[in-house]
Amino acid sequence: MMWSEKYRPKKIDDIFGHEDVKARLKGFVKNKSLPHLLFAGPPGTGKTSAVIALANEILGKDKIHGNILELNASDDRGIDVIRNQVKSFARVLPSNGVPFKIISLDEADALTSAAQHALRRTMEKYVTTSRFILLCNYPGKIIEPIQSRCAFFKFSKLPSIKIFENLEKIAKNENVKYDSEGLDTVIRVSNGDMRKAINVLQATAVIGGIVNKKSVYDTVGTIDDDEILSILKLAMGKDFFEAKNKLQELIHSKGISGQDIIRSIHKNFDKVGIGEDNKLEFIKLLAEIDFRLTEGASPDIQIASVLAFLGTIS
């Protein structure tokens, strides 16, 4: 079983890192009333977990079956899924004495414009039997008529300390050997995504045994920032060919993608002493190289040009 599912919040009090969201949702539970909702925020910040916790508390765990519909709008983004599947579920009266059904549409920002307009009408027509909860990463892609019918909830990236506490709790429950640096590395590579962090922890525990810095990087196949820093410092120290050899080792021996290397350089370049006058030019160069890599250019040549630029300005 995936740990990210096992440790998903089952009730509102289990939600962490979003105290304002939790307080507002508790108000709905207390009144046993619910408007249409719009949950927006990055992946892995608890939007789907909040839907399940809310449904458990308002509908009841023993009555949730048959009264909740969960769909991922990215699977079928057209108008047919709204006219058929969603409309058919929404117009049927709720069972087991619950006040209304809940329809959860994940990745609602992937719906076409026509599908969103059809959804707007369905939300209006069947408001007595169903409540809609729309989940999205980019609320700007949701049409204004739908936004105006929903109570808006913003899910921001979870604080690192909260992710650390949760990972430590899971590691202890699952008897995983770890060190603090290993959990910090899990947090770094997951970039505020709690679901990814838990999955990385599980994968590392299964493959690497002990969860430490090296085993996490080996598991996810990404780059250690310290390696990038050493390469940048070599280039700044006029040792271009040594820096280039280490770069090629990352690309060809360790299988690190060029775009991952560019992102790591962008994150760490201010630690190698680049002068203020050259920082803007360097950022422009990184943006250009990132675009070229996206278009299929050779990472060896493109990233080597970044090292050459550092050598000329040092």
Report yes or no: 103 and 36 within 8 Å, Cβ to Cβ: no
> Among the listed ranges 28-42, 79-93, 139-153, 196-210, which one has the minimum average pLDDT value?
79-93
| pLDDT confidence of residue 76 | 64
List where CATH 1.10.8.60 sits in the chain. Answer: 160-220
- Cα-Cα-Cα-Cα dihedral of 51, 46, 137, 285, to 10°? -170
List where CATH 1.20.272.10 sits in the chain. Answer: 225-313
Class of the CATH domain delimited by 225-313: mainly alpha
The tens digit of pLDDT for each residue in 29-70 reads: 888 888 999 999 988 888 988 999 998 888 888 888 889 888
The tens digit of pLDDT for each residue in 177-209 reads: 999 998 999 998 888 889 999 999 999 988 867
What CATH number has the domain spanning 3-154? 3.40.50.300
The tens digit of pLDDT for each residue in 218-269 reads: 888 777 778 888 888 888 887 888 888 888 888 887 778 888 888 888 888 8
List where CATH 3.40.50.300 sits in the chain. Answer: 3-154
The tens digit of pLDDT for each residue in 165-177 reads: 999 999 999 998 9
Mean of pLDDT values over 64-81: 76
Per DSSP, the residues of 23-77 read HHHHHHHHHT---EEEEE-STTSSHHHHHHHHHHHHH-TTT-TTSEEEEETTT--
Residue 1 has pLDDT above 70, yes or no: no
Mean of pLDDT values over 149-167: 91
Tell me the fold of 160-220. Answer: Helicase, Ruva Protein; domain 3 (1.10.8)
| pLDDT confidence of residue 73 | 60
